[in-house]
Amino acid sequence: MKAWFVFFALLFACAGAHAAQTVWQPSAGHLQMPLWPGTAPDMKAMPGLEYAAPRKEHLIAGKPWLEVADVSRPTMTVYAPQGKNTNAAVVVIPGGGFEVLAMDLEGTEICDWLTSRGITCVLLKYRVPGAPYDWHCKCRPDDYEVPTMALEDVQRTMGLVRLHAKAWNIDPHKVGVVGFSAGGFLVAEISTHYGKRLYKPVDAADKESARPDFAMAIYPGHLALENGKLNPNVPVTHDTPPTFIVQAENDDEDGVQQALTYFAALRAADVPTEMHLYAQGGHAFGLRRTNLPITHWTDLADAWMQTIGVLPR
């Protein structure tokens, strides 16, 4: 009996330790806050808890990347700028196909770059719940459903950043977004869906503008339909913010078509746009260093942010 008691005690202790590490948390010294004061809008019962685990079977630049999944309680984490504060801020939106989040590859590592340039980084952990949520349905021919919860989280984040702009030494007119893959699609969405919240306003943050002042879409996805037309969920207009796009030609996710379709729509609407198309790089390269030219795309992004007045020349 005593042996069984010790066994179960150890079992529950290990389970408790695992549970305590399931939810992604930033490293010490960074402010993390929930997006919503209570339950986020449009939520249903979840089948499992959020978890974070390294993906070792798919290495990026020889290293695993951190997968965060089953996120039902979204947060934003503020990383203060290093050195001189430019008073600019960028909301970072990781990718992961709306199923998981690449939290280091397209999150914390991006914040390291931005904060080194004197930019406040706001890392968004948006909702990517598993079943019973499934956005992979074809709602009509040549189209697909996209999750609205993630866009709600982005809209809410933009309002919160501007609400706290004075306290965080941010110029509310220099708040941009950068997103990767599915996060790049959210960049396009928030660039075209900022006028009206998708949810019932909660507080003063939802009275602030959700429009980005500038946008960076890195190997964005879901922007082109099968017939090559622009996804109607991103209705580009002349008021869409200035946009910077990076894409590899050998992206196995058909990224070239996605990026070119979005670029053409921005150009047709006379939106200031800069696009860089590289021969090699694949998909989900982040900013991890390799021997390929695409690995230096952040240098071009730095120069672009200087030309639009976000960074000092």
- The mean pLDDT of 62-86, rounded to a whole number, is 95
Residue 282 placed within a domain: yes
* Structure confidence at residue 56 as a pLDDT band (50, 70, 90): confident
Residue 56, Cβ density class (10 Å: 0-12 exposed, 13-18 middle, ≥19 buried):
exposed
Q: What is the mean pLDDT of residues 192-217?
A: 97
The pLDDT of residue 14 is above 60: no
For residue 18, tell me if it sits in a domain.
Answer: no
Q: Judge whether 42 lies within some domain.
A: yes
229-257: pLDDT as tens digits:
999 999 999 999 999 999 999 998 788 99
Give the confidence band of 43 by pLDDT, cuts at 50, 70, 90: confident
Give a three-class secondary structure readout of 152-199: HHHHHHHHHHHHCCCCCCCCCCCEEEEEECHHHHHHHHHHHCCCCCCC
pLDDT computed for residue 15 by the predictor: 38
Answer yes or no: is 247 within a domain. Answer: yes
The whole-angstrom separation of Cα 211 and Cα 309 is 17
Domain hosting residue 69, numbered range = 30-307
pTM of this prediction exceeds 0.75: yes
pLDDT at 158 over 70: yes
Residue 176 lies in a domain: yes
Number of structural domains found in the chain = 1
Q: Give the confidence band of 138 by pLDDT, cuts at 50, 70, 90.
A: very low
User: Highest mean pLDDT: which of 26-30, 127-131, 268-272?
Assistant: 268-272
For residue 15, is it within any domain?
no
Cβ proximity of 67 and 53 under 8 Å = yes
Domain annotation covers residue 25: no
Domain with residue 158: its CATH number is 3.40.50.1820
Let me know if residue 92 belongs to a domain.
yes
| Of 40-49, 234-243, 299-308, minimum mean pLDDT range | 40-49
